Homo-oligomer: A and B are copies of this chain.
Amino acid sequence: MVEIRKPISISDAVRRVMNFTRQGEVVVIPISKAYGHFLAEDVVATHNVPPFDRSPYDGYAIRAEDSREANINNPIVFEVIDVIGAGYVSNKEVGSNQAVRIMTGAQLPKGCNAVVMLELTKEFEQEQKKYFSINRSFLPGDNISLEGEDTKVGTVLVKKGTKINPGVQALLATFGYSEVKVAKKPMIGVFATGTELLNVNEPLQPGKIRNSNSYMVCAQIERSGAEAAYYGILPDNFEVSYNSLLDALDRVDILITTGGVSVGDYDYLPDIYKKLGANVLFNKVAMRPGSVTTVAEWNGKLLFGLSGNPSACYVGFELFARPAVRTLLFSQEPHLNKAQAILQADYPKPNPFTRLVRSTVTIQDGHLVVKPSGFDKSNAVSSLANANALMVLPGGTRGYEKGMKVNVLLLEDDVGCEWPWS
């Protein structure tokens, strides 16, 4: 008794999921903990940059007009009337042929409009006073970083939903964000199903394999920016499984199960969805692997029923669950970033379904090339460690050849994209 399911396209499926995504909660954390979090507010310039006219060099602040006649045959002498370090402001006003010794980053003293680099001066002392001479002229504004020339107060610098990298961190510090509003990490619960599964710490037994999907998905959850709560392997008992899922739904933002969504006799997740009264968004997608991926919605929470097959499970998470996580993190570009790459292997066999192949993208002479991670059967397992992309091979009547351009979805790119599907 094979249940007949109607497959929908990947883009339809993702769209149905996106209809039920929502933005998450905001938490305030100290800047020292902010790296790697997602901004829950725009970063705005709270002052001009530079905040005052300042010197980009170690040197002497002068009035440019006093240097007008200086040249190699006519050195002009300046008297040093003050010495200030960065962070200090001179309270002396510079007059004709006077100068203030100034350090990199220091505010320009009143009356000055140019800075002479130390290397261009000849310093000397006379009667315990300090002097220097220069043998070239300077124009007003020479060697000065002007207030606001980099950024004007009020400018939006980084958009809400951006992942905080070292550059963003520098901006937060510059503008006094000692506490930062970030997205609270969503909590994603994970259950495995499958009577063949052993725990990782159990020895192998005939017919059984260790549960690897849950650990893989938990890592994918962390990579996406959320927190994973692994609840173990569901027993082969409908009522116990139903109650475990119902309990977990109280504690998580999103619930993921691996396995149990095929049409096999032992796959009882469809019945659990039914008993929950969950709204099944789809239970078949026109893609390989992962065609049995099922997504349901229950009281505003998404339930992802990923396939028990490892590559289907991996693909299902990245296509459907990741954008839900990133939306909770306020991202406007919640989907995997798409790029083109040159195929390095033949796929001669046509396939009616769109294939999503775990692949390794590398850069050769400035362009992207892509190879399926499990291409050499002999190291299909180890090469999964190198997967950094999903290659998208649309279904059709023709195969794909080495040298063709194909689309890839980048797994390790933090930027994301608005919509990768046509």
Number of copies: 2
**Contact yes or no, B165 A223, CB < 8 A:** yes
Which of A133-141, A208-216, A240-248, A347-355 lines the interface with chain B?
Answer: A208-216
**Contact yes or no, A211 B366, CB < 8 A:** no
**Contact yes or no, A204 B51, CB < 8 A:** yes
Instruction: Tell me which of B171, B208, B414 contacts A87 (CB under 8 A).
Output: B208
Residues of B within 8 A of A87 (CB): 194-197, 207-208
Residues of B within 8 A of A101 (CB): 265
Which of A28-36, A61-69, A278-286, A296-304 lines the interface with chain B?
Answer: A28-36
Query: Cβ of A106 < 8 Å from any Cβ of B?
Result: yes
CA distance A196 to B105 in the complex (A): 8
Residues of B within 8 A of A72 (CB): none
Q: Which of A158-173 contact B (CB under 8 A)?
A: 158, 162, 164-173
Q: Which of A290-322 contact B (CB under 8 A)?
A: 308-310, 314
Instruction: Tell me which of B177, B203, B218, B358 contacts A32 (CB under 8 A).
Output: B218
Residues of B within 8 A of A382 (CB): 45, 151, 155-158, 171
Query: Cβ of A85 < 8 Å from any Cβ of B?
Result: yes
CA distance A380 to B170 in the complex (A): 13
**Contact yes or no, A223 B35, CB < 8 A:** yes
**Contact yes or no, B35 A218, CB < 8 A:** yes
Which of A16-24, A338-346, A393-401 lines the interface with chain B?
Answer: A338-346
**Contact yes or no, A264 B58, CB < 8 A:** yes
Q: How far is the CB of A60 from chain B (nearest CB, A)?
A: 13
Q: How far is the CB of A373 from chain B (nearest CB, A)?
A: 8
Q: A196-B85, A210-B176 are in contact. Are A165 and B219 (CB under 8 A)?
A: yes
CA distance A210 to B175 in the complex (A): 8
A206-246 toward B: CB 8 Å interface, digit per residue (1/0)?
11111111111111101100000010000010000000000
Residues of B within 8 A of A375 (CB): none
Residues of B within 8 A of A176 (CB): 200-204, 210
Instruction: Tell me which of B52, B105, B214, B217 contacts A206 (CB under 8 A).
Output: B52
Query: Cβ of A12 < 8 Å from any Cβ of B?
Result: no
**Contact yes or no, A171 B381, CB < 8 A:** yes
CA distance A166 to B45 in the complex (A): 37
CA distance A162 to B176 in the complex (A): 37
Residues of B within 8 A of A118 (CB): 2
Query: Cβ of A150 < 8 Å from any Cβ of B?
Result: yes
Q: How far is the CB of A266 from chain B (nearest CB, A)?
A: 5
Query: Cβ of A128 < 8 Å from any Cβ of B?
Result: no
**Contact yes or no, A51 B262, CB < 8 A:** no
Q: A166-B314, A194-B105, A386-B167 are in contact. Are A174 and B209 (CB under 8 A)?
A: yes
Sample of 6 A–B contacts (CB below 8 Å): A35-B223, A43-B385, A51-B204, A89-B206, A171-B212, A368-B368
Binding site for B on A (CB under 8 A): 2, 31-32, 35-36, 43, 45, 47, 49-52, 58, 83, 85-89, 101, 103-107, 118-119, 149-151, 155-158, 162, 164-178, 194-197, 199-204, 206-220, 222-223, 230, 236, 262-266, 308-310, 314, 339-342, 358, 363, 365-368, 373, 377-382, 384-387, 405, 412-414
| A-B interface, 6 closest residue pairs, ranked by CB to CB distance from nearest | A87-B196, A86-B196, A340-B366, A170-B216, A166-B219, A157-B382
